[in-house]
Amino acid sequence: MTRMRAMVIDDSRAMRMILKRIVTKLNFEAVEAGDGKEALDLLTAMPEVPELALIDWNMPNMNGLEFVTHVRADPRLREMTLVMVTTESEQSQIVRALAAGAHEYVIKPFTEGAMIEKLALLGLVPTGANS
Amino acid sequence: MSVEVEVNENDLAEMVEQVWESYLDPEGVSPLMQTYDENQASEVHSSVSITGSWTGHVVYASSLPAARRAAGAFLAMGPEEVSEEDLSDVLGELANIIGGNVKAMLPPGALLSLPQVVLAPEATARYPNAHRITGVYGIWDGEPVSISMWQSRGDNKEGAE
């Protein structure tokens, strides 16, 4: 069975590692990017588009909201499920991200269980993976 | 526009508890024990600045061993394996997470900077024209850790000395 792929986009290596641990546990193959620009460059070079992207908001070069906007404007990337993972927790920011095309929103700090629950809501977690 | 900040010590303590539960102590065996000593020593610190409806800084400070332990917890490695780059990364992310949650409690219109990390004591920090308004000060596994908020004096007339 082909493994699903997840792109983890955060300028913090530590946060990327935490997210990678979670998605790897869910049997995703993980790819990392340090900002939105690097993520778009990687996506351009990848023959197959990842099913999932976990995206920080505040990053240098290209922030998460700009990345979401770019992805939604690109027909090749249309099927990607986009989850913002960020400290930007005001209602207005959540609305902005969802309006731009993000599917879900996870506020830092998050527990592993909370993240897996969010991904389960999106149908991206095998049954029983969080037990 | 200037506003009186409504984030207090209890709010900060709640955020800190969430950070410990999520990343630094998920097993719940080693929480941050509050000492209420705002003069406790630190060896490294990180901060984010907030501008807009409130202007100031959120600062995370700790001893070097506590910073190594925090980085080890994030990166799933032993404290002795942590590099200086790892320390900077994790200290910055801790300031970012706590600062972001502080910003969420402020009136709309606040902006958060990217984090800054200084591998030197908090006492060496210079926040021009700002004063500390609240903080959480504690001991984590025998090592000092603090989270404090510094308000720019021009932001709140009552805060000016």
Determine the structural domain holding residue B95 and report its residue range.
Answer: 9-21+30-155
Instruction: Tell which residue, B103, B54, B127, B161, has the closest CA to residue A92.
Output: B103
Mean pLDDT throughout B23-49? 93
pLDDT bucket at B161, cuts 50 / 70 / 90: very low
**Any domain includes B49:** yes
pLDDT value for B121: 72
pLDDT at B91: 97
What pLDDT is stored for residue B157 in this prediction?
Answer: 46
Compare B154 and B96 and report the one with higher pLDDT: B96
> For residue A105, which residues of chain B lie inside 8 Å, CB to CB?
none
Q: Can you give the pLDDT at residue B3?
A: 59
- Tell me if A17 and B75 make a contact (CB, 8 A cut-off): yes
Give how far B161 is from chain A: nearest CA, Å: 32
Question: In the block, which residue shows the tokens 């029983």?
Answer: A128
Residue B1 belongs to some domain of the structure: no
The average pLDDT across A78-101 equals 93
Query: Structurally, how many domains does chain B consist of?
Result: 1
pLDDT in tens, A15-72: 999 999 999 999 999 999 999 999 999 999 999 999 999 999 999 999 999 999 999 9
Nearest CA in chain B to A110: B22
- The amino acid occupying position A84 is M
pLDDT tens-digit readout, A57-86: 999 999 999 999 999 999 999 999 999 999
Contact A58 B75 (CB under 8 A): no
Strands A81-86 and A104-107: parallel
Fold of the domain built from segment(s) A19-90+102-121? Rossmann fold (3.40.50)
Assign residue B145 the CATH number of its domain.
3.40.1550.10
**Average pLDDT for chain A:** 93
pLDDT tens for B83-129 read 999 999 999 999 999 999 999 889 888 999 999 999 887 666 667 78
Residue B111 to chain A, least CA–CA distance (Å): 10
- ipTM score of complex: 0.85
42-101 of B, contacting A, C-beta below 8 A: 71, 74-76, 85-86, 89-90, 92-93, 96-97, 99-101
Out of A107, A108, A111, the one facing B21 most closely (by C-beta) is A111
Proportion of chain A above pLDDT 90, given as a percent: 86
- Three-state SS across chain B? CCCCCCCCHHHHHHHHHHHHHHHHCCCCCCCCEECCCCCCCCCEEEEEEEECCCCEEEEEEECHHHHHHHHHHHHCCCHHHCCHHHHHHHHHHHHHHHHHHHHHCCCCCCEECCCEEECCCHHHCCCCCEEEEEEEEEEECCEEEEEEEEEEHHHCHHHCC
Say yes or no to pLDDT of B46 above 60. Answer: yes
Nearest to A102 by CA among A113, A93, A90: A93
| Residues whose CB falls within 8 Å of the CB of residue B103, separated by 6 or more in sequence, listed in order | A87, A88, A90, B50, B110, B111, B112
Closest-approach residue (CA) in chain A for B73 = A14
Is position B62 within any domain? yes
What is the reported pLDDT for B4? 65
- Helices B64-75 and B84-104, packing angle to 10 deg: 80
Q: B138: number of CA atoms within 13 Å, CB side? A: 17
Give the tokens for residue B128.
Answer: 């021009």
Over residues A96-124, the mean pLDDT reads 94
Residue B108 pLDDT: 86
Q: Please determine, for residue A91, whether its predicted confidence score (pLDDT) is greater than 90.
A: no
- At B9-25, the pLDDT tens digits run 999 999 999 999 999 99
**pLDDT higher than threshold 70 for residue B69:** yes
CA distance B44 to B63: 6
**Chain A interface, mutation test: which of B53, B84, B89, B105, most A Cβ atoms within 10 Å?**
B89
pLDDT(A102) > 90? yes
* Domain limits, chain A: 19-90+102-121
The model's pTM is: 0.89
Q: Is residue B160 part of a domain?
A: no
